[in-house]
Amino acid sequence: MQKTTTSPELMLENQLCFTIYACSREFTKLYQPHLDKIGLTYSQYLVMIVLWEKQQCTVKELGEALFLDSGTLTPLLKRLQAAGLILRERSLQDERKVLISLTDKGWALQSEAVCIPGKMAEGTMLSADEFVNLLGQFKSLLARVHEANTAATK
Partner DNA sequence: TTAAATTAAATTGTGTACAATACATTTCAT
Partner DNA sequence: ATGAAATGTATTGTACACAATTTAATTTAA
- Where does this chain touch a copy of itself (CB under 8 A) — which range of 16-24, 77-85, 91-99? 16-24
- Number of residues counted as binding a copy of itself (CB under 8 A): 66
Give the Cα separation of 42 and 49 in Å (integer).
11
Q: Amino acid letter at 144?
A: R
Alpha-carbon gap, residue 63 to 70, rounded angstroms: 7
Please choose, out of 81-89, 91-99, 143-151, the segment that lies near a copy of itself by the rule CB under 8 A: 143-151
Count other Cβ atoms within 10 Å, centred on residue 104: 9
User: Nearest Cα to 56, choosing from 17, 103, 20?
Assistant: 103
How far apart are CB 128 and DNA at their closest, in Å?
Answer: 27
Q: With CB cut-offs between 5 and 8 Å by kind, which of DNA, a copy of itself, none does residue 97 bind?
A: DNA
Check residue 64 for interaction with a copy of itself (CB under 8 A): no
**Is 92 near a copy of itself (CB under 8 A)?**
no
Nearer to a copy of itself, 4 or 95 (CB): 4
Find the shortest distance in angstroms from Cβ 41 to DNA: 3
> Residue numbers of the site for DNA (CB under 7 A)?
21, 25, 28-29, 32, 41-44, 58-61, 63, 67-77, 79, 88, 93-99
